[in-house]
């Protein structure tokens, strides 16, 4: 983990004003229009606060291999360059990997049911166990200890279900599917796939 935690460029006020917030970093985050307040956390800033808090945060990863777990609130996380790991929490979040191989983890202590995640969906999706999240430029998925349904996209994906009876689907591309413990069902789809700890349907 290369988190170098952080300072808030606290932007905003208690007034119900619309604020234009310029966020350096990923092109997608250049300008955000917000009501109320947003805190931008740049993990390369040694004075920044911990992003794991119960308000909306915009978290910008560093050029290193970040591991970013969001907190409460509807956070936006931009991994930035390099291969990062982004972990969803319960809010309605945006997880944007950027360039590189990105892993999104759907597992946290407060979960009570598994996650349903489809990397082929553009825009927000109901993950059931982890809020309504939008995933951008994410290649790999890790599920929870519960029964997950995890689906890849047309490219190569690495998908792991861990505990629980999981359903994993790779679709196109050369995928690696690992169901972990439990009675899992895996469908690698077209391509040269590696399938572990799974029942493969006919």
Positions in the binding site for Ca ion (CB under 5 A): 152, 157, 161, 164, 166, 170-171, 173, 175, 179-180, 182, 184
Which of residues 34 and 120 has its CB atom nearest to Ca ion in the complex?
120
Calculate ∠ Cα 164-168-169, nearest 5°. 170
Q: Which residue pairs from 27-30 have beta carbons closer than 8 angstroms and sit at least 24 positions apart in sequence?
A: 28/78, 28/96, 28/136, 29/58, 29/60, 29/76, 29/78
Output the CA torsion sign for 60, 91, 84, 68: positive
Which of residues 66 and 140 has its CB atom nearest to Ca ion in the complex?
140
C-alpha dihedral (110, 112, 118, 119), degrees to nearest 10: 20
Q: To the nearest whole angstrom, how small is the minimum distance from the Cβ of residue 25 to Ca ion? A: 28
Which of residues 14 and 201 has its CB atom nearest to Ca ion in the complex?
201
Q: To the nearest whole angstrom, how small is the minimum distance from the Cβ of residue 149 to Ca ion? A: 11
Helix residue ranges, H only, 25-147: none
Q: To the nearest whole angstrom, how small is the minimum distance from the Cβ of residue 152 to Ca ion? A: 4
Q: To the nearest whole angstrom, how small is the minimum distance from the Cβ of residue 165 to Ca ion? A: 6
């Amino acid at each position: 983990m290369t988190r170098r935690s952080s300072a808030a460029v606290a932007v905003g006020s208690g007034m119900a004003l619309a604020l234009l917030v310029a966020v350096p970093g990923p092109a997608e985050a250049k300008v955000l229009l917000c009501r109320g307040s947003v805190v931008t956390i740049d993990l390369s800033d040694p004075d920044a606060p911990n992003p794991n808090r119960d308000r909306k945060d915009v978290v910008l990863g560093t050029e290193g291999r970040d591991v970013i777990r969001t907190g409460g609130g509807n956070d936006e996380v931009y991994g930035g360059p390099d291969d990062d790991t982004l972990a969803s929490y319960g809010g309605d979040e945006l997880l944007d990997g950027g360039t590189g191989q990105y892993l999104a983890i759907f597992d946290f202590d407060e979960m009570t049911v598994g996650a349903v995640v489809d990397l082929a969906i553009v825009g927000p999706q109901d993950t059931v166990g982890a809020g309504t999240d939008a995933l951008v430029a994410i290649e790999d998925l890790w599920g929870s200890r519960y029964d997950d349904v995890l689906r890849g996209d047309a490219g190569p994906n690495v998908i792991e279900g861990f505990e629980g009876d999981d359903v994993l689907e790779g679709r196109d591309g050369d995928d690696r599917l690992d169901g972990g413990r439990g009675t899992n069902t895996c469908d690698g789809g077209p391509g040269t796939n590696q399938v572990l700890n799974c029942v493969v349907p006919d």
